[in-house]
Structures are given as C-alpha cells and as structure tokens.
Amino acid sequence: MQATPAPARSTSVPGDAAIVARNLSKRYGSARKGVDALSEVNLTIPRDRIYGLIGRNGAGKTTFVRIAGTQLLPTSGSLTVLGHDVLTEASTIRLSIAAVPQESRPLYFLNVDELIFLYLMTRGMERREARRRTDSILEELSLAPVRKRLVSHLSGGMRRRAMVAMVLASDADVIFLDEPTTGLDPFARREVWAAIRRAKREHRTVLLTTHYLDEAEALSDRLALIEAGQVKVEGTPTEIRDRVRLPYRVSVQGGFVRSELEPFGEVSAFDGGFLVFAREKDARELAMAALSRGARVALGPVSLEDIFLQIVGRPLDDGMDAETEA
Amino acid sequence: MAGVRRRIQTLLTLAYMNGIVPMRTQPLYLLGVLASPLSFLFFVTIASGGKLFLTSVAGGMVLTMVSIGTSLQTDMSHYRQDLKLQDLLVASPVEAPVYVAGMALSELVYSLPGIVVFAVLWLHYAPVTPFSVGSAIAILLLVWAFASGLGFTMATYFADVRETFIFSTLVSLGLSVVPPVYYPVSFLPANLQPFAYLSPTTYAADLMRNAFGLESLSIRAIATDWGVLISFTIVLIGIAALKAQWRET
C-alpha cells in the first residue's frame, strides 16, 4: 500500500497494482451512533508482492481485508482488486482470490488431506491438479505425517497451519491471510513464512495482517501501519525506518532519573528502566554516559515495535485482550 | 460451459463433504437422524395398538425430511459464526446459491439412511406400486426443499448457534409433532382441524398416506394438497433466495 495522494474520484488502476483503495471508509452501525472502522483510506498494493497490514486490535485491518475479499460492503469510497470494483464486479474478483479469515476453524470431521483437497475441489479445480497441489503443500508445511488425522484431533497451531495450507494450495492470484500464524510455535511460523514466500515467487499477491511485527518485517515487501481506521505510515520496512525522526533506541537500567535522560531524546518507562529514542549522536553520548555510571545499557536501531510506539503513542499489544478486531 | 461444470463440481463436493464424510467419521451421529422419527413411530404404534403403524411410517419419512431443515439451519449457523466457513467461501469462486444448494443436498444425503429404514418398513408391510413410490419421492423432495428453504432463512437471523437449538425444537414441534403427520387429521377435534392446515407438513402427510393407500383422497383434495405444498415450497425457497446474500453490509 503506498500512501499516494487520493484523486477526487478516480477508478483508474495503476498497471502494477493488485489492490487500490480510494477514500475507502467503513462505518459500523448507524450514521449517528456508529463506529468508524476505516476513514478515507487510500492505499495501492502492488502485484506479486507480500503486503503487511499492522496495527492493534480494532485498528481496521480486518475490515480492510474483508472489504477487499468481497465479504463486506464499504460505506463509501472505492476499492478494486486486479482492476475489478468490489461493488460491481465481486463475482469476477472471487474467481481470483482466496482468504483465511481471522479466527476461522476447519470443519472438525475432515482429515487434513480432505480439508485441503475438498477446498480446492469446491473452488472448481480439476481433480488431478487438486490432488497434486494437496500433496505438495502437505509436504511443504510438514503436514504429511498427519494428513489422515482428523482436524479435531490436531493442536490449535496445526489447525491454523492446515487452514493456511488450504489457500496457499489454491490457484488464487490474490491471497488474504488475516493473522495467519496466531497460535503457531516459532518453528511452524517459519514454515508458514516459507510457504508465503513461495506464493510470492509464484507471482501471487499476499495481503497479510499480523500482530507480530517481526513477521511483518520478515515477510513484507511493503507495510502499512493502521491506527483508528487510518493509515499512519506506509512503505518498505527500510523506508519506514528512514522516516523515523529518532532512529536509535537506548535502553537504560539504573544510574539515571528521567529528567537526566530527557535532553537526549524521547523517554518512556520500560521494564523497570527507561527507553530513549534518540538521534545517532545523542544515542552514542547517552550510551557512553550510562557506561561511565555503571548502568546497564543497550543501543541499537529502532525496531518496528519502537516505531509503532513512536507513531501511535502506545505499544501494539496495549489493550489487545480488551478489544475485538473491527 | 466451464462455469456450469465448476458449479456442479462445487455442489457435489459440498454434498460429499458435509454429507458422506461425516457418515464415515461419525457413524453414531446417524442414529441421531433416526432417533426422533423412530421414537414417534414406536410410541404411536404402541398407543394405537398397531393401527397407526403404517401412518407413522409415512409420518416418519416426512419428519426425517423436516429434520433436514433444522439440521441445515444449525449447520449453517455454526459454520458461519463459529468456523467462519462462509467468509472463507465468499472469498472464492463458490456462489451463494450453489453453497446453499450444496449444503441442502448434503443434509439430504446424510438423511438417506433414515429414509431407507422407513422405506424398508413400508415395502415389507404394505403393497407398493411404481406410482406410489414415485409420488412418495416427489412429496419428500418437496418437503426437503421447503424445509431447507426455511432452515436457511432462519439461519440468517441467529447471532449465536445456541439460539438455533431452541428454534429447531420449535420447528419440529410446529411442523411435525403437533400437526397430523403421525396421525390422520380426523383425529383432531373439528374446531382444531382448520389450524392443522396452516402447516405444509399436513398436506405432505395427507399425500403420503394417500400414496401408502391408507387414505383415499378425492382428485380435488389431491390437487389441493399438491398445489399448497408446491406453493409453500416456492415461497420458502424464494425467501431463502432473497436472504442468500454473500456479503455483509
């Protein structure tokens, strides 16, 4: 998604864009008492790339994905997928997309093999091709040993992996993955990552939402940070880092009171100490001062998590349990 | 042509997935399909001293078809709300009418063992002609169609699958227990008989008893019963088609 200036009313689609949103808004509930889930969002998601949407629960990520996936109508604005309008050409779009919805679960009476194979068959894939793709994805995501096991007998992480396997095995040009690795162990996450990267090599577009910023950074060619229904920052991971005013982080434990740190940069309490976002020169000076006082200190470039904190003013997981995704 | 092939493949795959596979993995659940119809058959037969045995067999077939509607309602609510299956399929080439038809067909497939049990009882205890078999199949298909339409329509209203269980009980009560499905309408007091004809299953059971040779309806009564049953089916399928919207607003 590129934060391009929005034309007043345009349906033109850049040739290399998979998804284009213009002034896209979604309001749940009535005009007076409703809640804005998306407000005038303008995004361009390039083809054949992995695009990450990051943000807290309720930020609007899932709403965007559901509109693009033709599951939800927008309140205003436009959105096209592969050049087709979600309002008037939904049937055409559906021939070319696949999605793993947030919190989706597989039919419990199917085994893993059936889950993937029958999904491909419901999409209309030719039987032999569906069998070939099923066998391939089972191997790739290390699901072959449990292929005959009922999904109701799998762990939560394995079920999630099976769901992701379904859509990655499909022939969809655009794949929507809403929190695809929630509940997976680190090893399984990396297997899913590898499969997602393969989808990109096959010239497919993947729109990914995630709470895991390391995942977003590891997978995404471009990222957008959504907060309160608006795109706060957008670009490649490198571009996003370059936009940050204070690109270094220094964590200090002991040896300082808050007021002594404030001249170096922006200070926040962190894990019994302080976290300071600073320019390179100030960060070096602070680190040296901390070392001279015998304080514990760590210095490095800001992470996506830090950037999120700087832009939004609170960490990604703040209030995550209390809110539900819009 | 490719679109037609794809739709038929989707329909049959859904029927296999939700009809055949559960039979294989959860065979005990099949007893659940038979439990209510066979229980009524048992009690009505005992209470009537055996006089209403064949009437109950005919009623059991109708009740089994009505149960398809309640099963469809529960399945579709569960799959939509708890499993997010509908969201998954919306973002795919699967079309809403094909999904509904496939799910309804799967429920029919899942109920076939129950129908076979009643059909065996019918074949064993009463004379059967090709015409009576053809009539019974046509009647039961209409009951399947309107029960599926009703089940799908109701599934769109519930926010929680537990609500569907309550409604399923009410549907069974209103369509198959209270109306004259397991007994002739003449058993009802005269002032209650008009109310029985508010239920489409009354017409279906009338026609089934006629097909079984248990009642001899006039041509006019037969035409009326078919007309009303077909009208109910068209209306309920029409409402279901209007409600079959893939996308949320």
Residue A325 inside a domain? The answer is no
Task: Tell me the average pLDDT across A155-164.
Answer: 88
Residue A93 inside a domain? The answer is yes
A308 & A160 share domain: no
DSSP state letters, A301-313 = EPPHHHHHHHHHS
DSSP A184: -
Residue A199 inside a domain? The answer is yes
* Integer Cα distance of A182 and B196 in angstroms: 54
* C-alpha distance from B107 to closest chain A C-alpha (Å): 15
Number of domains into which chain A is organized: 2
| pLDDT over 70 at A225, yes or no | yes
Residues recorded for chain A: 326
A80 & A115 share domain: yes
Task: Tell me the average pLDDT across B175-201.
Answer: 91
Residue type, position A213, single letter? L
Interface test with A, best of B92, B98, B245 (most A CBs within 10 A): B92
pLDDT score, position A43:
96
A210 & A258 share domain: no
Please state at what angle helix A112-122 crosses helix B2-15, rounded to 10 degrees: 150
A194 & A307 share domain: no
Q: Which residues of A touch B28 (CB under 8 A)?
A: none
B30-86 pLDDT, tens digit per residue, is 787 788 888 999 999 999 999 999 999 999 999 999 988 888 988 998 998 889 999
A144 & A270 share domain: no
Residue A150 inside a domain? The answer is yes
A105 torsion bin: left (phi>0), alpha (psi -120 to 50), beta (else): beta
A42-82 pLDDT, tens digit per residue, is 999 999 999 999 988 889 999 999 999 999 999 999 999 99
Containing structural domain, residue A73: 17-239
| pLDDT over 90 at A187, yes or no | no
Interface test with A, best of B21, B75, B84 (most A CBs within 10 A): B84
**Which of A237, A221, A222 has the alpha carbon at shortest distance from A308?**
A237
A124 & A263 share domain: no
* C-alpha distance from B7 to closest chain A C-alpha (Å): 7
- From A73-77, A261-265, A309-313, the region with the lowest mean pLDDT: A309-313
Residue A184 inside a domain? The answer is yes
Instruction: Give chain A's count of helices (H) and strands (E).
Output: 11, 14
Would you call A27 an interface residue with chain B, using a CB distance cutoff of 8 Å? Answer: no
Q: Which residues of B touch A73 (CB under 8 A)?
A: 247-249
Closest Cβ–Cβ partner in B22, B25, B84 for A101: B84
A93 & A161 share domain: yes
Provide the token pair at A135.
């066998």
Which among A212, A239, A266 is the end of a domain? A239
| Interchain CB distance below 8 Å, B84 and A104 | yes
Which among A239, A255, A274 is the end of a domain? A239
pLDDT score, position A326:
42
pLDDT score, position B146:
93
Closest Cβ–Cβ partner in A99, A122, A172 for B87: A99
pLDDT score, position A270:
75
A281 & A172 share domain: no
A139 & A288 share domain: no
Boundaries of every domain in chain B: 2-243
Residue A233 inside a domain? The answer is yes
Q: Which of residues 65-94 of B touch A (CB under 8 A)?
A: 79, 82-85, 87-94
Residue type, position A29, single letter? G
Which among A191, A214, A239 is the end of a domain? A239
| pLDDT over 80 at A1, yes or no | no
Is this complex's ipTM strictly greater than 0.85? yes
CATH (domain of A66)? 3.40.50.300
Mean per-residue pLDDT of chain A = 87
- Neighbouring CB atoms inside 10 A of B191's CB total 7
Closest Cβ–Cβ partner in A70, A121, A170 for B90: A70
Res. A325 pLDDT band, cuts 50 70 90: very low
Between the ranges A266-280, B132-146, B154-168, B184-198, where is the mean pLDDT highest?
B132-146
pLDDT score, position A319:
52
Q: What is the chain B residue with the closest CA to A109? A: B22
Closest Cβ–Cβ partner in A72, A102, A106 for B247: A72
| Interchain CB distance below 8 Å, A69 and B87 | yes
Task: Tell me the average pLDDT across A133-161.
Answer: 92
A248 & A235 share domain: no
A214 & A78 share domain: yes
Residue A273 inside a domain? The answer is yes
Q: What is the chain A residue with the closest CA to B19? A: A109
A186 & A251 share domain: no
Residue A317 inside a domain? The answer is no
| Interchain CB distance below 8 Å, A104 and B94 | no
A118-133 pLDDT, tens digit per residue, is 999 999 999 999 999 9
Would you call A92 an interface residue with chain B, using a CB distance cutoff of 8 Å? Answer: no
Q: Which helix (H) or strand (E) holds A285?
A: helix A280-292
